[in-house]
Amino acid sequence: MDVTEQLKKALLLSDRPLFAVLDGAQFEDLPGTLFGGNFVHRALYLDRGDGNQERVATAPQLIWLDRQRTGGPVADEEASAPPNPEFVERLLAVIDAMPAAVFWQCSAGGEVLYRHLRTINMVLVPHDTETDHGRSYEASPLPPEDKPETSAERSDYTAVLFRHADANVMAQVLPSLNPAQFSRLLGPADALLFSPDPIWTEDGGIKGAKRTSDLPAPRSGMLRLEDHNIRAIGERRNAAAANKVADYLRKVAPARVSEIEDDKLRQFASRSIRESSGFGVETDAGHCRWAYMSLVTSGQLGRNPAVREAMQADAPGYSADMRVAMLMRHSLAALKQQAIREER
């Protein structure tokens, strides 16, 4: 049974109201798709009527799974019910196995869940947390009216956007939370379920969590991530990056890595990522290329004077990732010429 079938089976076991939150940033036009599919949905970022189409298109959308759109207002006109199997199947087809949805079970209904989800669009992180668009939290693109008041919070925390509709983000953040933080994340909901990319899980399956009888009551105020959360998230990201690089090496250099134990290969990948990061490499492709060249040079790539000069040269317009790609092309060309000479 593939992951989508596992997810569908798990969703249809729900005997309580079930809702989906889809990450608009992973779709070309999520509002249009949902409207065309007759889904009842509501954006979690407010439309200020300022014509900002990017905000409208990328906003996470809350979807009711027990009813279709009838032309009336999106509200709990009747008590929310368990999911309709047809609607679940149609929505899974829209998602198309992307890590672009988180499902929430909430007996209190869609309006209550909507108000809660609006309160976790932003979270607090320590002010020195590195934030960028490749992390689970990022500088907020929300308009000032959508940003929460933080004057009552400690000044050494910063409010940032929390992409809670991204299954990969939830796979990184959820394991780092303590019971009090998880309770604040869950709010009025009974449980949540999602299907991240396999790289973020040990078994490649669906993930989730549910309310237990010993879970503390949700605290007031914003969800706050502490230093230990950020460290745990970082460690999980580093492990996933090392797995990705190790998988790449298995594909492009099977003969060279066939006798290397998995743990040893991941350790090599981790060292390679640290080294390439030290030269400014940021992309997965760049880290993979560096690891391959490091593998064929027995780990000596970063010590090569010519390589260091190329990576550190003052050449505006050429990013570290571009330089790694150029080094890769040069190396492959040199190897090809060497093979030609040997054949002669």
1 vs 330, more confident = 330
Residues 11-32 have a mean pLDDT of 94
Per-residue pLDDT band at 154 (split at 50, 70, 90): low
Per-residue pLDDT band at 55 (split at 50, 70, 90): confident
Q: Is the pLDDT of residue 192 over 80?
A: yes
CA distance to 56, 126, 208, per residue, from 226 (Å): 31, 6, 22
Say how many residues make up the chain. 344
CA distance 56 to 73: 18
Reading the block at residue 182, the tokens are 């998880």
Residue among 69, 72, 100, 87 at smallest CA distance from 18 = 87
CA distance to 8, 268, 306, per residue, from 320 (Å): 43, 21, 15
pLDDT tens, 116-139?
Answer: 999 999 999 998 887 654 444 444
300 vs 77, more confident = 300
Residues 164-193 have a mean pLDDT of 96
What per-residue confidence (pLDDT) applies to 73? Answer: 54
Summary mean pLDDT of the chain: 87
Task: List phi, psi (to 5°) of 331.
Answer: -65, -45
Residue among 342, 302, 310 at smallest CA distance from 329 = 310
Name the least confident of 16-20, 113-117, 124-128: 124-128
Sheet bearing 137-138, strands edge to edge = 122-126, 157-162, 137-138
What per-residue confidence (pLDDT) applies to 54? Answer: 75
What per-residue confidence (pLDDT) applies to 68? Answer: 84
Per-residue pLDDT band at 143 (split at 50, 70, 90): very low
Sheet bearing 61-68, strands edge to edge = 39-43, 61-68, 18-22, 101-105, 191-194, 207-210
69 vs 310, more confident = 310
Beta-carbon contacts of residue 28 (< 8 Å; ≥ 6 apart): none
- What's at 44, amino acid-wise? L
Total-model pTM: 0.82
Q: Is the pLDDT of residue 304 over 60?
A: yes
203 vs 151, more confident = 203
Residues 234-257 have a mean pLDDT of 93
Q: Is the pLDDT of residue 24 over 60?
A: yes
Locate the domains of the chain by residue range.
3-225, 231-343
What per-residue confidence (pLDDT) applies to 187? Answer: 97
What per-residue confidence (pLDDT) applies to 83? Answer: 92
Residues 240-250 have a mean pLDDT of 94
What per-residue confidence (pLDDT) applies to 132? Answer: 55
